[in-house]
């Protein structure tokens, strides 16, 4: 029985070794002077992207589209119920009309006192021809002034000042009512979210009927007609780039390399990662690209020490893709391990450099796409 188990183990071992040897093996080698270009991974992003947030509290009344729907600049995207605001607007308009009527009346009273100070008004209006009222004014005013009871000039100035104060108060009430209307109009405008530019809805964060508060995100809107590649490069590579430079890039699911131009270099490095954010413009011809896709950009490194660095080189046929990440199959005795690697620049049509993930002398499967059925 013991001998039988040993034989079975030997057969399994031999079979396992044959499995590994069934693939075409390649010993990882290194080359000098291939470090003058570094490949940096990044992401495809829209040229412009905004998140519309609620400016007023309320219930979401309408969302005019779904993800992927296209809208022009100024078109309504989302609306919040404004019934309460409309009621406040009507009350403010009525208050403004009342303040306007009060102002007009105060102006008339002031004008009458200015141009006809002795004219009767209200219950002082005399009857008949007004002779008793006229005689009273002729006899009473001089006598009162003579005995020091009153001063007609001062009384007239006081009356004019009183009517002028009424005008100022009415004018202030009118301005206050108008300001309140403008404030409500601003909130009514905030109740509707409009497209700031031509684009598409990329993500809805609420649904019709949801109750929202000021500052709560509602939806994301993006310009996907113009795309960029956003990468975070080591800070030491920043001086090597300037706006307008053309570099080579690759996008996941698009086999053909493409040229990209430096559009924006952020002036401040990240304090934790010590990287600088750079955005590269994509030509409109690359319509297959989508925001969120993985991308790689080759950036020149003029650092003398780095340019002389030795990097490992492997056949391009050994690289397999798992999602958007490159990997290779490493062969170790009877084991076959899938290992993620970070690729550098292409040496020629057949070979590519590896920045990390492999060491010189390791053995990999040269052509896993052919051998995977046998392993």
Please indicate, yes or no, if residue 298 is contained in any of the structural domains: no
Instruction: Please give the residue range of the domain that contains residue 106.
Output: 84-190
323 assigned to some structural domain? no
pLDDT in tens, 308-349: 556 788 888 889 887 667 889 999 877 888 998 888 777 777
Give the pLDDT score at 99.
Answer: 84
Provide the pLDDT for residue 52.
Answer: 93
Sign of CA dihedral 16, 22, 28, 29: positive
Question: Tokens representing 133?
Answer: 């009222």
Average pLDDT value over all residues in the chain:
77
Q: What percent of the chain has pLDDT over 90?
A: 18
In a domain, residue 361? The reply is no
Instruction: Name which residue leads in pLDDT, 354 or 216.
Output: 216
- What are all long-range contacts of 331-334, with beta carbons under 8 Å and residues at least 24 apart? 331/20, 331/23, 331/25, 331/363, 331/364, 331/365, 332/363, 333/17, 333/20, 334/13, 334/16, 334/17, 334/19, 334/20
Instruction: State the average pLDDT over residues 257-281.
Output: 89
Average pLDDT over residues 265-288: 83
pLDDT digits (tens, 9 = 90+) for 153-190: 666 667 677 777 888 888 888 888 888 888 888 888 88
211-262: pLDDT as tens digits? 999 999 999 999 988 899 999 988 888 888 888 888 888 887 776 788 889 9
- pLDDT at site 229: 92
A 10 A CB-CB count for 241 gives 17
CB 365 within 8 A of CB 329: yes
Q: Residue 25: beta bridge partners?
A: 365
pLDDT at 279 over 90: yes
**Does residue 31 lie in a domain region?**
no
Average pLDDT over residues 134-156: 54
Counting residues of the chain whose pLDDT is more than 70, the rounded percentage is: 73
User: So what's the pLDDT on residue 309?
Assistant: 56
Q: b or e along 242-262 (b: 16 or more beta carbons within 10 Å of the residue's beta carbon)?
A: eeeeebbbbbbeeeeebebeb
Asked, for residue 280, whether it belongs to a domain, the answer is no
Counted domains in the chain: 1
The answer as to whether 180 is a domain residue is: yes
> What was the pLDDT predicted at 167?
84
The answer to whether the CB of 343 falls within 8 A of the CB of 354 is yes
Between β-strands 294-300 and 37-53, what pairing exists: parallel, antiparallel or unpaired?
antiparallel
Q: What is the pLDDT of residue 97?
A: 87
pLDDT of 274 reads: 86
For residue 303, being part of any structural domain is answered with no
SS (H, E, C) 219-242: EEEEEEEEEEEEEEEEHHHHHHCC
């Amino acid at each position: 029985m013991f001998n039988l188990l040993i034989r079975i183990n030997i057969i399994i071992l031999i079979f396992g070794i044959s499995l590994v040897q069934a693939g075409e093996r390649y010993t990882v080698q290194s080359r000098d002077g291939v470090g003058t270009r570094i490949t940096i991974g990044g992401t495809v992003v829209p040229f412009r992207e905004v998140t519309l947030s609620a400016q007023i509290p309320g219930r979401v009344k309408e969302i005019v589209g779904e993800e992927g729907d296209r809208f022009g600049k100024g078109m309504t995207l989302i609306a919040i119920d404004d019934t309460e605001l409309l009621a406040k607007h009507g009350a403010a308009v009525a208050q403004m009309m009342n303040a306007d009527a009060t102002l007009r009346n105060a102006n008339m009273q002031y004008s009458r006192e200015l141009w006809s100070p002795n004219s009767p008004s209200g219950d002082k209006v005399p009857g008949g021809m007004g002779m008793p009222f006229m005689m009273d004014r002729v006899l009473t005013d001089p006598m009162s002034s003579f005995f020091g009871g009153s001063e007609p000039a001062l009384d007239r100035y006081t009356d004019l000042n009183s009517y002028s104060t009424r005008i100022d108060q009415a004018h202030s009430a009118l301005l206050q009512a108008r300001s309140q209307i403008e404030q409500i109009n601003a909130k009514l405008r905030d109740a509707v979210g409009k497209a700031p530019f031509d684009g598409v809805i990329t993500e809805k964060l609420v649904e019709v009927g949801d109750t929202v508060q000021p500052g709560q995100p509602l939806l994301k809107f993006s310009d996907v007609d113009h795309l960029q590649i956003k990468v975070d490069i080591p800070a030491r590579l920043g001086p090597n780039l300037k706006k307008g430079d053309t570099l080579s890039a690759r996008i996941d699911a698009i086999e053909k390399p493409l040229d990209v131009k430096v559009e924006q270099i952020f002036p401040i490095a990240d304090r934790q990662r010590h990287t600088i954010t750079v955005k590269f413009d994509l030509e409109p011809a690359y319509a297959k690209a989508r925001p969120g896709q993985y991308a790689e950009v080759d950036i020149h490194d003029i650092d003398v020490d780095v340019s002389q660095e030795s990097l490992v080189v492997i056949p391009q046929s050994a690289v397999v893709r798992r999602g958007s990440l490159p990997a290779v199959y490493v062969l170790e005795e009877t084991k076959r391990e899938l290992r993620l690697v970070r690729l550098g620049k292409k040496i020629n049509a057949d070979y590519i450099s590896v920045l990390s993930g492999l060491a010189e002398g390791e053995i990999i499967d040269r052509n896993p796409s052919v051998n995977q059925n046998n392993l």
